[in-house]
Amino acid sequence: MSTRNVLFLMTDQHRVDTLGCYGNPVVRTPALDGLAAEGTRFDRFYTPTAICTPARASLFTGLHPFRHGLLVNPERNGGARDEVDDAHPILSAPLLEAGYNMGHVGKWHIGRERGPEFYAMDGEHLPGALNPFHHPSYERWLKEKGHPPFAVREAVFGKAPNDSGRGHLIAGRLQQPAEATMEAFLTDRTLELLEGYARDFHDSGKRFMLSCHWYGPHLPYLIPDEYYDMYDPEQVPLPASMAETFAGKPDVQRRYAEYWSADHFDADAWRKLIAVYWGYVTMIDDQIGRLLAALREHGLWDDTAVVFTADHGEFTGAHRLNDKGPAMYEDIYRIPGIVRVPGAPAGVVDEFATLIDLNPTILGLAGLPPREPCDGESLLPLIEGEAPGWRQEMVAEFHGHHFPYSQRMIRDRRHKLVFNPESVNELYDLETDPHELHNVYSAPAYAGVRRELTGRLYRELLRRGDPAYTWMSYMADIDGDRAADVDGVAGEVA
């Protein structure tokens, strides 16, 4: 495959089922739908962990979270690494060495202090997890463009469960036009870099990788009226998993429902909030359309691969939860994955793939091998329709959000097993229970499935070197698969 430029587009906390190309019949997403129609849509695309910093660090390093060590968002939880280890491989280094222009615009959130500039990339570090509405660069841009400053009315809050007052900000009407939003600002900055990169490419053949990472549709959903009211709440079906009772499940899920005061909103309120979330998705899709149009205008369309994905999903009321957290449901682990490579056949891939796989995929588009160590596999063979023997399952991990909480999950085409060391484990039959409402871990009829998946998860964690296997060695039904050196003293104790 010829070397390519790469335009990498990423959203934050984005549900797969909000996109037309993934089956939503209501939400308008023409830019991404068009990209999927010309490229490859991955239907079983997953995040390695449903939380921002660890997932983004896995994309950047090509490593599982337990290996790179950025296990949590530093704003909410401490004790883990704050920055990528200097010894770890990073995506930007081989591309820069190969002579690529490298640019990053928007959300970074890989550590606290180091931003794209630290890694010799073009672009400004915008620190933090949420839209930086008061960042000097954004406020200066607003003044230069004659746009009104950031302001919100009719803010929607949850209710604090300890009766201390209002809870989390969930949504609100942004008192700015669409062209003044943070999303438009980030797109403008990306277009500025793209113009220079296009000039370099046409003048000297210098290739580029340019990333634009929007902060949305992560809550709070603060968007202009035009998008806030774009979708009729009557058209919004409530998630089937709102029937969640938490029976037979880890109690932490019920506690998270309280934390996000999900039950504070009735059915009508949830329909409106989901409709606003949909509007946010369309607003970002409109900005994506600007970037794709610019590729064509600059004569780059036939030389540039375009990748779209998200760091993780979002609950928006599913399982009576909001945001994300210690619950390994499809809502937050399955993410969109679209790759359009010029000259490659369009189609749909039904194999398991993850965010980590995009690291060697991007290097492959530049004609470069994966940097070792690498925990991912290039998706280019799948895109070309040539990938026999691909993985038949995916394994994910979680280390906590607001507090430490360890989980591991294995998911194949029918079943999902979640190992919760401090609580009950979970097993879901996704064929008979696609909304993951019924934990059948203890059901006698599923004993064989439980043992098989537990053994497969254990062996995969052992293969990876994930220390989570040590607890499973004594506490899981692994049918004699326990590693001989689980205590680190093999051959030394009689």
The domain that contains 178 carries what CATH number? 3.40.720.10
Answer yes or no: do 335 and 433 share one domain. Answer: no
**Which pLDDT score is estimated for 226?**
98
Cβ atoms of 31 and 288 closer than 8 Å: yes
Task: Point out the residues of the chain with pLDDT beneath 50.
Answer: 489-494
> What is the sign, positive or negative, of the torsion defined by CA atoms of 467, 468, 469, 475?
positive
**Which pLDDT score is estimated for 489?**
47
Answer yes or no: do 41 and 91 share one domain. Answer: yes
**Which pLDDT score is estimated for 487?**
61
**Which pLDDT score is estimated for 493?**
44
Answer yes or no: do 322 and 447 share one domain. Answer: no
Q: List the end-to-end C-alpha distance of the chain, in Å, as a whole number.
A: 56
Cis bond before residue 136 (omega within 30° of 0): no
Closest to 174 (Cα-Cα) out of 126, 137, 142 = 142
Answer yes or no: do 354 and 434 share one domain. Answer: no
Answer yes or no: do 375 and 419 share one domain. Answer: no
Cis bond before residue 220 (omega within 30° of 0): yes
Q: What CA–CA distance (Å, rounded) separates 171 from 173?
A: 7
Q: What CA–CA distance (Å, rounded) separates 122 from 117?
A: 6
For residue 15, give every residue at least 6 positions away whose Cβ sits within 8 Å of its Cβ, in sequence order, or none.
277, 313, 314, 316, 331
Strands (E), 51-207: 101-106, 152-159, 166-174
Answer yes or no: do 340 and 484 share one domain. Answer: no
pTM of the predicted structure, to 2 decimals: 0.97
Answer yes or no: do 361 and 434 share one domain. Answer: no
Answer yes or no: do 425 and 377 share one domain. Answer: no
Answer yes or no: do 370 and 428 share one domain. Answer: no
**Which pLDDT score is estimated for 486?**
61
Closest to 121 (Cα-Cα) out of 88, 93, 89, 86 = 93
In a domain, 399, yes or no: no
Helix (H, G, I), strand (E, B) or coil at 225: helix
> What range defines the domain where residue 453 resides?
412-492
Cβ atoms of 375 and 67 closer than 8 Å: yes
**Which pLDDT score is estimated for 494?**
45
